[in-house]
Amino acid sequence: MKILLVGEYSRLHNSLKEGLIHLGHSVTIIGDGDLFKNYPVDISIKPKVLHFNWFTRKCKVAFYKLTTIDLALYESAFRFYWYQKKLKNYDVVQFINSNALKTPLFLQKKQLDYLKKHNKKLFLCACGTDTPIMEYLLENKMKYHILTPVLLGEHSKETFKFEYSYVTPTYKKYYAYFENFIDGIIPSDIDYYLALQNNPKTIQLIPNPIHTETLIKNNGNLSSKTHIFLGINSMTELKKGCHYFENALKIIAKKYNDKVEITVTRNLPYSQYIQHYNSAHILLDMVYAYDQGFNALEAMAKGKVVFTGAEQEFLDHYGITENEVCINALPDVDYLVEKLSWLIENPSEITRIGKNASAFVKKEHHYISVAQKYLEVYKKVSG
């Protein structure tokens, strides 16, 4: 099959591409590389002229303040049209998000028209913030989720401006147009599946693909101190619930001063971040989730004990038990302290869970077996 993957998020499409190519298919990725993360793409629509130097960036910002028009979106649109002859005759086009092209919405509609006209089947991989996800979260049916801080009144909507942009009247109208064009929706984990399970276009949950062969186990010696690592990204710390981890670690530091090494970093360059990450036995990932994202899965593949989303819905889906492959992180400091204490006092549990975690990711998330599941969906859905 000839497959076009549109956009990138946490390297999902790159891992999927590697699996699809291994299975003998032709795959092209078009996108901006998730901007500063700079993931590989085959066709780049990343704005370059307006991000060329400090002067062009200043001009872009000044123009936006005067007009509320983001010129970078128009540069991405221009690059799409420049390459559009290369975007024809694919068996499958898959979007990472309804706004994967990151161009002005009125132009993005025209780009959708073009892709629909010149290709066979269109799919959405639901793996991040999008209109139906936000609508479901705002109904507040889950025990907790990324909008919990807003709904509890701990933070304002303005703090979550990006997330709320997907439920403005203008964007909701665009999303309806987008969803009408696609042939199916594929959620990537339990959080998204719960939001989309009643949508008639939802096909099935297919887990995130992880290239496990590239992830070398590199944990520190458990005969020494237990190393706990919390790497904070200020852009996502609120919706991840990192303050629960920080407060729990303050208690753990006093309780087990001679038994633990605690590292908390903020906005570190990747080269420094990965040094702390690799030596950790326990990784604190996210509170407000029912399932794991890429960061948690890659750490689990390396044999680390990860505090992350692992609610009952996740356990039931994969037929596993509590504390078997990871620790379910709850918005409860006392609970987090209890779980961390249990691991520190029972290092054999760190070894057991880490071993199970690595085997779980290899079984359920291996990039080749996940790619095969995508192929089966592509084939069975009529365009």
Q: Which domains does the chain have, with CATH numbers?
A: 2-209+367-380 (3.40.50), 212-364 (3.40.50.2000)
Give the pLDDT of residue 51.
64
Angular region, 327: left φ>0, alpha ψ -120 to 50, beta rest: beta
pLDDT value for 73 = 87
- Convert the pLDDT of each residue in 22-65 to its tens digit: 999 999 999 988 766 778 999 999 887 766 566 677 777 776 77
What's the pLDDT score for residue 34?
Answer: 73
pLDDT at 5: 98
**Alpha-carbon distance 179 to 182, whole Å?**
5
Q: Give me the pLDDT at residue 47, please.
A: 83
In the chain, the amino acid numbered 231 is: G
Query: Amino acid letter at 248?
Result: A
Structure tokens given for 97 = 């998000």
> Residue 299 has what pLDDT?
94
Summarize pLDDT for 125-159 with one digit per residue, the tens: 999 999 999 999 999 999 999 999 999 988 899 99
Q: Which of 270, 259, 262 is nearest to 230 (CA)?
A: 262
First to last CA, the chain: 14
Virtual torsion, Cα 362, 207, 320, 342, nearest 10 deg:
80
**The pTM of the whole model exceeds 0.85:** yes
Say which residues have a Cβ less than 8 Å from residue 25's Cβ, sequence separation at least 6.
1, 2, 3, 375
Q: How far apart are CA 266 and CA 278, in angstroms?
A: 16
pLDDT of residue 10: 84
Give the DSSP per-residue string, 326-367: SEE--S-HHHHHHHHHHHHH-HHHHHHHHHHHHHHHHHHSBH
Question: What does the pLDDT read at residue 221?
Answer: 64
Per-residue pLDDT of the chain (383 residues; tens, 9 = 90+): 999 999 998 889 999 999 999 999 999 999 988 766 778 999 999 887 766 566 677 777 776 777 777 777 888 889 999 999 999 999 999 999 999 999 999 999 999 999 999 999 999 999 999 999 999 999 999 999 999 999 998 889 999 999 999 999 999 999 999 999 999 999 999 999 999 999 999 999 999 999 998 887 666 566 679 999 999 988 889 999 999 999 999 999 999 999 999 999 998 876 788 888 898 999 999 999 999 999 899 999 999 999 999 999 999 999 999 999 999 999 999 999 999 999 999 999 999 999 999 999 999 999 999 999 999 999 999 87
